[in-house]
Structure 1
Amino acid sequence: MNIIICLIILCHLFINQIQTEQCELTLNDDIQLTTNIFFQSRRFCSSYGFRAKNTHQIFISGRLVDYKSHCKRSINNANIEIIHVQPNFRSICHELNYPNSDGYFYLSTLVTIPLTEQLFLRVTSPDYETIIKEIILPSSQNVILNWQIVLTPTIEPRQQQQQQQQMNSMIDSLISQMTLDEKIGQLNLVTVGFDITGPIVSQNVDENIRNGLVGGVFNTYTPKAVRALQELAMNSTRLKIPLIFGYDVIHGHKTIFPISLGISTTWDMALIEQSARIAAQEATADGLNWVFSPMVDIARDPRWGRISEGAGEDPWLGSQIGAAMVRGYQGSDLARSNTAMACVKHFAFYGGAEAGRDYNTVDMSRITMYQNFLPPYQAAINAGAGSVMTAFNEVDSIPASANRWLLQDLLRDQWKFNGFIVTDYTAINEMIQHGIGDLQEVSARALNAGVDMDMVGEGFLTTLKKSFNEKKITEHTINQACRRILEAKYKLGLFDDPYRYCDESRIETDIFTYENRLAAKDLARRSFVLLKTDRKTLPLARTNLNLALVGPLADDHRNLIGSWSAAGDWRQTISVRDGINKLLGNQIQVLYAKGSNLIEDVSLLQQLNAHGGEIVLDERSAQEMIDEAVEISNKSDIIVAVIGETQGMTGEAASRADISIPECQKRLLKALFDTGKPVVIVLMNGRPMTLTWENEHAAAILETWFAGTETGNAIAEVLFGFYNPAGKLTTTFPRHVGQIPLYYNHKNTGRPFNATQVTEKYKSRYLDVPNEPLYPFGHGLSYTSFNFDPISVDKNELRGDSDRLTVRIRIHNTGAYAGEEVIQLYISDPAASVTRAVRELKNFKKIFLRSQQEEEISFIITTNDLKFFNTDLDYIWEEGDFIIHIGPDSVNTQSTLLPAPRPLLANVGLVTSSSSPIPTHKTKTSISRSPSSSSSSSTNSSNSSSSGSTRSRSRSPISRRSRSPTPDKPPTPSSSTPPVTINNSNVSSSLLQQQAAAAAVLFSSSSLSSLLPMYSMGLFPIPPPPPPPPILPAVNFSPEQIARVCETLEENGDIDRLGRFLWSLQVAPGSANLLVQHESILRARALVAFHLGNYRELYHLLENHKYTRDSHAKLQAMWMEAHYQEAEKLRGRPLGPVDKYRVRKKYPLPRTIWDGEQKTHCFKERTRSLLREWYLQDPYPNPAKKRELAQATGLTPTQVGNWFKNRRQRDRAAQAKNRQQYGIGAGSYSPPSSPDSSTT
């Protein structure tokens, strides 16, 4: 191996520049790309060379310093290694050098790819704790890292115990000196300063601080302001207890990153953790030590405004993100001055508000709570979060802030949370409106339930003493709440130095630095999701291009930072127009027009501006702005339309019933589409939106969310191909708001709908829109394309908790660009003791591949990935078979069957389309992921995993003896996962012969009891046509018995098996006439003909046979639907109401299925005659007559009134037309005047 030794003198600023430039796309030119990277590295390297393409060059430099000396003392005796985390921490690094005695080091190594396991940097030194940092392989074969690694002296268990005893002793002493009022004062959190984020503002703050009646302050920052309040507490109070200062630092403090929903679409935990670390660094430099983040609420309803603050709809991914953010905020030690205490919110289930309306009721089962909503909270707690914020909603009919089961039994007792709990803004006061008591009652209930701090409402401050005197609460409960708050302050180091966060010099060095802005830009562009791209529209050409930049957000600054960017300065943001001009300058011509206002709804405008929206309407008319946009569009080669929401349309108290693009912007888009030029939509928003119409007409759609400070620079780099977008959705985009709530990990119904059988009625479906989303969870395209080879596994069963299974898949970049892909692994459980989701995300990996490069990745699966909560709320796995799905999103996956886990080793092979238990790579169909796939609807997610094996379940799987699956009924994956098929390869020919013999006996028997179970259980696989199997003899049993079989299969909805049954019947000549006269058999034949699209046979059956009234509804529906489908084929488009009316008039129902009154969507002739007859007598019927006519016609009085009103308007119009053409009257009928109207 050719080892390259480089002398590196690294500056973090230059490193970020290199990593920015190395992501530039170079079309089919690996050599040029490698050369550019090394050219940029020459300033750091004394020598360089080329190496094999299957290696990574890793350079790591840094400095080791001691934490206790405030990073001033260096460490020179550490051992630094690059290691594999699995197995056994193998070291692969040997090039380690210390150039001097200041703790600086550098090392380099070559790593062969593909990497099957993660890489980590391990630093070990005597008397210090071992540090292991993950090495993220970015989009290059060079990894250049520069870290300052801070080592903490090793704390022995005995020393940790001593530190805990010191804290307990100090706090015990303090509490013993505090009065009851001072203890209650520590439970009081007040708001003062820059922002108002709730309905009221705290009063008499200074006086309460002097009296020791305030424990913390929020909505105040800057070292100067924080120092003033802290000095007031330290100099005026008796016991000099410091204040804690909190703030809503959600997605950045001064340097604003994309909104939290956008951050989640990076699927990059290292970057997410880095964004939280930068936010904590800036917040602590600005005087803060407590951040109200992360928000880990699972949200399935995009109407909810606060969906923008969370990580989406998946509990597993949300857990990873929540834990990463906690680690970023708190670091390894809360006492460090650049870390802040995290506050996990909103506990619990806030994202499940009914109808997506903020603060609304939440009602869900316990299994749903544990399986889908609680995991992110628990993951954040396990990551060490120091505080938790309660939710506004109720849980099991008790508001969260007074719910003892939630706060005490679950959070503290089960999860062992030892931090403090704070309410949301005035949540205790709002429990009065919930109806559980007055302020004293709800305050006492909140404290007894486990709440430690009251935010703003002052219910604790004003009522707890009275409740104590009335023995509604105990002093022990108050002491426990006070202790937990004092412990938090102790861990933050506030008792050692109350002013440790008031260093004004850090404002210049730590806030809004160039490095932070580079990190914000990198995270922003990685968060963008390419929803659609057609005709190779993107990336845009960098020269010789006339670009029309249109839209109300194209040159906007204020909305770019999104909601909950409290300390962010929108004046520091980069607009899209500025970003493009900065990136390309005069290389292209950019024509700009605003095109429309953001919103024109007066009521909505007033609401947003009442709370700081500052939305100003353009002085020009809407048509003038559109005309200007069309004019520049006609002069351009391509149009980029930057549209979306305002920042005030998302966030708290910003729920929307209509989640489409505002109407004024839609009018602009229609005008742009009418120009015939390709339109690229750049979307800025804080929630999934309904984009069905936009998806049909736009050439490309790029979802950019509210991307923060560096929005314009990031969008420009993505549009022009300096970065290949790789974001993946973490929420589902619906086609229509009526589909909501819509999420990928839903459960099956008893009647799942198959999208290929559009005429089936009794299925779980919509009549007017498909069940599938517009863009599914995990969706995200690229400028390149990726192919997935079939799945392979290293073995075909798991033997228990200690066992593990490796799943491998090879990915090919078949496109012309380098790019990243997120390989997602889902698992489904076809049969369990409780119903399971159709599939659940269990793991993912994000890889970078150059053009035409391929790589194999692997996943480790254990029984922990198969666990779920049962009816007893035990987290268990059960014996049985599971299906593994792997793909680029939650819909376009391929699958393989996993007969696992089993308590004992079962002798069962992996059932695949290959005779080998392990499928090979070259014999399977691969999934292609190309930019032309604009909407991921190739499979039906609503029916995923609906068909599976019938298997027995053990309630105590460890103690139950293992059983193999029934050999003649192997479990099969859903039809929605076609690339890997499951067949009966393990079924012996002798078994098929036995089934054939059973069939012969079946058809020679006259006993229906032997006939029905065989067909209903699917035991007899009748072969498809043609030709009929020769082993089936003629039947000699009655038509009634055949009819009962037909009725049974029809009721079960199994039309396929019904068709095979009818087709396979070979009857004696004397029975043929009887069969064609039986209504049930004829109806079954009609159903099969309709199902197969054989409409000629259907018409023949319906027109030539008599049916009773019991068959009318189904036969009528089939008759009309068949004609509708034929008419749609002739017209080449869907039928509207008028078209369907014409079809019904042209093809009336045959008398054989007409019950005497044809039912259509239009008025019946008898109804028209009755209304017309009365209209000639009196065109102005009174209410009593309307009710009488309504009863006679079957309409409502409103419909009757509308009919008369429309008829009067039509007659007046005809009269006016005739008067103009032929003179007054001209033979037209003039309706009589209203009795109360004046006559001329």
Structure 2
Amino acid sequence: MWSPNINIFRDPRWGRGQETYGEDPFLTAQMGVAYVTGLQGNDPKYLKALATPKHFAVHSGPEPTRHSVDIKVSEHDLEDTYLPAFRATAMAGAGSVMCAYNAVDGKPACAQPMLLEEHLRKDWHFNGYVVSDCGAASDISRNHHYTTTMEQGMAAAVKSGMDIICAWPAEQIATERDAVLKAAQKGLLPKEDIDRAVKRLFTARIKLGMFDPPESLPYSNITSADNDNEPHRQLALQAARETMVLLKNSDNLLPLGKKYKTIAVVGPNADSVDPLLGNYNGTPSHPVTVLAGLRQRFGDANVVYAQGSSLTGLPVEAIPGDVLKNNSGQPGLTAEYFKGARPAAEQHESPVMARTDPNIDFNWGHGASPELKEDFSVRWTGTLTPSLTGDYLIGFNGTDAFHFWLDNQLIGESGPSDTSKTRLKTLHLEAGHAYSVKIECSQPGTSGLVKLVWHLPGEKRDYADAVEKADVIVAVIGLAGELEGEEMPITIEGFAGGDRTSVELPRAQERLLESLVASGKPVVVVLMNGSALGINWADQHAGAILEAWYPGEEGGTAVAEALAGDFSPAGRLPLTFYKSVD
């Protein structure tokens, strides 16, 4: 398993900082050791799973330059900041380590003997294997220009202590494999270096019990049912409770008492699964959003909801079926489902299922049908006929790869990933005009989200009625994995390439919060984010602020319990919350 990420979160704008344990080297080391030892188990002979602390080393963003940047680091900073967590996890018995994209002091990390031999092997007595980050081996020649050819780059990496390549993208696999073969054939890569790497790799496989009968292995009786059960959900709830941090509570606004009969829950993260999970995550079978948690704790009749805004703009909703027509002119869209997660455009066989979907608003938990329980793709076609003339914000939300065309114009696309993302475009549409629709979407695995969305013309405030009815407002705002994460093709105000360009809340959410406070009702802010937020205005004007982070599958339950006073949200911040980047 390529985890844990034990890099140090030095710049709050780094998109992958949300994967880490924060900015403190000691805390990161302690958490990393607990992760590694828990994952690998305590059997003296076999590993339960194999941990891979990453990314070794001095890897803390930014995302857009990671394939070519050379980090110059002082010996003191290297030893005091960047290496302690790797030292601790290596000495705790981690089975492997992942070397980073960046260069360190003039040499790519995957070909830096100072890291891979001097520190990892000699100083820390690490006896596992080293895997490259995906594509990092080809970066040695292609982007760092450390060597002239890829064969030379591969040889330099293996001789320096890298044992196996992760090639990326997929079409690069043969290229990098062939480069290693040519390096060996040309004498650039001696046989003893190859043998050393192979020995380390097979040692890991032996420790995992891959060559022994299952009945002799201590962990072979673990089934999928052991990973999704009530005790595990209770553990997830305990973890979520312990991460909550109460940042402000003026005039004892919290806990919410009986005097607040109606609670308005407003915000883009209130009823979304994404901000429970961050990214690089599994998909829980029973996720509890903040809205669901509050309804469960305070009662459906006492909670009203409105989205208020999207993460970075106007609120969007699923396009209703009454404006959609399939290829026969009937309500809905023509849907063709294919086996395999290859894009529908690359499918050469007939669809295994064809039907009319009323609209596109799916949360697949166990596939699309009994025949398609996992690994499928879909093509939707038909028309969209709006009833109003005006400027629409229209787009698509999906967990994995998708393309969306309207009248043969590409509206949005996304490559494979593990987090939901929304691609939107503003278009002027005419009432009564039928616009052709084509959407192609891939779904690896069993679970994922897809939704065709829009915002109707006008600046309507969908939360006005909820606020008017309420005695107190809970604003659930922040970030999500579609905004901060690993190297993403995103450039919008406040975000670029996976990183953030400021520490403030997205402007749309700041405006929403200002409007909610202007109502005169008490406002509790629940923050859901993986990196630090500059919340100066909220600190001055909101009555209470609860930092919930990306709290996991039971996060909504934990937030509701914290607001109700069922436990004290006594977590601590593992990183500095800066007021601004100035």
Q: After superposition, where does 1:1031-1042 map in structure 2 within 5 Å? A: none
How many residues were matched structurally?
441
- State the match for 1:589 in structure 2: 302
CA distance in structure 2 between the partners assigned to 1:663 and 1:482 by the alignment: 52
CA deviation string 1:892-915 (max 9, x = no partner): xxxxxxxxxxxxxxxxxxxxxxxx
Match among 658, 662, 676 for residue 506 of structure 2: 662
Match among 711, 722, 729 for residue 573 of structure 2: 729
- One-letter code aligned to 1:347: F
Are residues 614 and 300 of structure 1, via their aligned partners in 2, closer, same or farther at CA, if it must alter by over 3 Å?
closer
TM-superposed CA distance for 1:474, in Å, is 1.3
- State the match for 1:572 in structure 2: 286
- State the match for 1:395 in structure 2: 104
CA deviation string 1:711-766 (max 9, x = no partner): 1111111110111101101110110023xxxxxxxxxxxxxxxxxxxxxxxxxxxx
- State the match for 2:385 in structure 1: none
Identical-pair percentage = 35
Question: For the Cα contact (< 8 Å) 1:689–1:733, is it kept in 2?
Answer: yes
TM-superposed CA distance for 1:466, in Å, is 2.8
- State the match for 2:380 in structure 1: none
CA distance in structure 2 between the partners assigned to 1:421 and 1:379 by the alignment: 16
TM-superposed CA distance for 1:658, in Å, is 2.5
CA deviation string 1:1196-1226 (max 9, x = no partner): xxxxxxxxxxxxxxxxxxxxxxxxxxxxxxx
- State the match for 1:494 in structure 2: 210
Match among 520, 523, 548 for residue 704 of structure 1: 548
TM-superposed CA distance for 1:529, in Å, is 1.1
Are residues 316 and 641 of structure 1, via their aligned partners in 2, closer, same or farther at CA, if it must alter by over 3 Å?
same
Question: For the Cα contact (< 8 Å) 2:70–2:107, is it kept in 1?
Answer: no
- State the match for 1:444 in structure 2: 155
Mean alpha-carbon deviation: is it higher for 643-652 or for 537-546? 537-546
Match among 550, 555, 562 for residue 278 of structure 2: 562
1:528 is the counterpart of 2:364: no
Q: After superposition, where does 1:71-82 map in structure 2 within 5 Å? A: none
Q: After superposition, where does 1:312-351 map in structure 2 within 5 Å? A: 312-333=22-43, 335-336=45-46, 339-351=48-60
- State the match for 1:188 in structure 2: none
- One-letter code aligned to 1:480: R
CA distance in structure 2 between the partners assigned to 1:314 and 1:320 by the alignment: 10
Q: After superposition, where does 1:975-990 map in structure 2 within 5 Å? A: none
CA distance in structure 1 between the partners assigned to 2:241 and 2:235 by the alignment: 10
1:680 match: secondary structure: strand
Question: For the Cα contact (< 8 Å) 1:334–1:341, is it kept in 2?
Answer: no
TM-superposed CA distance for 1:598, in Å, is 2.2
- State the match for 2:311 in structure 1: 598
Q: After superposition, where does 1:406-555 map in structure 2 within 5 Å? A: 406-431=115-140, 432-437=142-147, 438-456=149-167, 457-458=173-174, 461-497=177-213, 506-507=222-223, 509-542=225-258, 545-555=261-271
TM-superposed CA distance for 1:322, in Å, is 1.0
Are residues 545 and 336 of structure 1, via their aligned partners in 2, closer, same or farther at CA, if it must alter by over 3 Å?
farther
CA distance in structure 2 between the partners assigned to 1:409 and 1:317 by the alignment: 24
Are residues 611 and 597 of structure 1, via their aligned partners in 2, closer, same or farther at CA, if it must alter by over 3 Å?
farther
- One-letter code aligned to 1:312: G
CA distance in structure 2 between the partners assigned to 1:573 and 1:591 by the alignment: 20
- One-letter code aligned to 2:510: K
TM-superposed CA distance for 1:503, in Å, is 9.8
- One-letter code aligned to 1:568: T
TM-superposed CA distance for 1:471, in Å, is 2.5
CA deviation string 1:262-321 (max 9, x = no partner): xxxxxxxxxxxxxxxxxxxxxxxxxxxxx1111111121111111011111111111111
TM-superposed CA distance for 1:690, in Å, is 1.5
More relative contact order in 1 or in 2 (CA 8 Å, sep 6+)? 2
1:443 match: secondary structure: helix
CA deviation string 1:176-233 (max 9, x = no partner): xxxxxxxxxxxxxxxxxxxxxxxxxxxxxxxxxxxxxxxxxxxxxxxxxxxxxxxxxx
- State the match for 1:84 in structure 2: none
TM-score by length of 2: 0.71
User: 1 or 2, which has the higher helix percentage?
Assistant: 1
CA distance in structure 2 between the partners assigned to 1:400 and 1:604 by the alignment: 40
CA distance in structure 1 between the partners assigned to 2:62 and 2:174 by the alignment: 29
Q: After superposition, where does 1:724-763 map in structure 2 within 5 Å? A: 724-738=568-582
CA deviation string 1:398-450 (max 9, x = no partner): 11011111111111111111111000101111221111222111101111111
Question: For the Cα contact (< 8 Å) 2:503–2:578, is it kept in 1?
Answer: no
Larger Rg: 1
Are residues 717 and 460 of structure 1, via their aligned partners in 2, closer, same or farther at CA, if it must alter by over 3 Å?
same
- State the match for 2:442 in structure 1: none
- One-letter code aligned to 1:441: Q
CA distance in structure 1 between the partners assigned to 2:257 and 2:412 by the alignment: 42
Q: After superposition, where does 1:629-648 map in structure 2 within 5 Å? A: 629-648=463-482
Question: For the Cα contact (< 8 Å) 1:597–1:618, is it kept in 2?
Answer: no
2:474 match: secondary structure: strand
TM-score by length of 1: 0.34
TM-superposed CA distance for 1:666, in Å, is 1.7
Question: For the Cα contact (< 8 Å) 2:275–2:529, is it kept in 1?
Answer: no
Q: After superposition, where does 1:52-131 map in structure 2 within 5 Å? A: none
Question: For the Cα contact (< 8 Å) 1:354–1:361, is it kept in 2?
Answer: no
TM-superposed CA distance for 1:621, in Å, is 5.1
TM-superposed CA distance for 1:476, in Å, is 0.8
Question: For the Cα contact (< 8 Å) 1:440–1:459, is it kept in 2?
Answer: no
Structure 2 spans left out of the alignment, 5+ residues: 168-172, 315-392, 397-410, 423-451, 488-497
CA distance in structure 2 between the partners assigned to 1:503 and 1:384 by the alignment: 18
TM-superposed CA distance for 1:649, in Å, is 1.3
Question: For the Cα contact (< 8 Å) 1:330–1:342, is it kept in 2?
Answer: yes
2:476 match: secondary structure: strand
- State the match for 1:623 in structure 2: 459
CA-based RMSD of the aligned residues comes to 2.7
TM-superposed CA distance for 1:333, in Å, is 2.1
- One-letter code aligned to 2:562: V
- State the match for 2:490 in structure 1: none
Question: For the Cα contact (< 8 Å) 2:4–2:35, is it kept in 1?
Answer: yes
- State the match for 2:95 in structure 1: 386
- State the match for 1:715 in structure 2: 559
Question: For the Cα contact (< 8 Å) 2:46–2:218, is it kept in 1?
Answer: no
- One-letter code aligned to 2:177: L
Question: For the Cα contact (< 8 Å) 1:301–1:356, is it kept in 2?
Answer: no
Q: After superposition, where does 1:881-960 map in structure 2 within 5 Å? A: none
CA distance in structure 1 between the partners assigned to 2:478 and 2:113 by the alignment: 42
CA distance in structure 2 between the partners assigned to 1:609 and 1:645 by the alignment: 19
1:623 match: secondary structure: coil
CA distance in structure 1 between the partners assigned to 2:174 and 2:484 by the alignment: 29
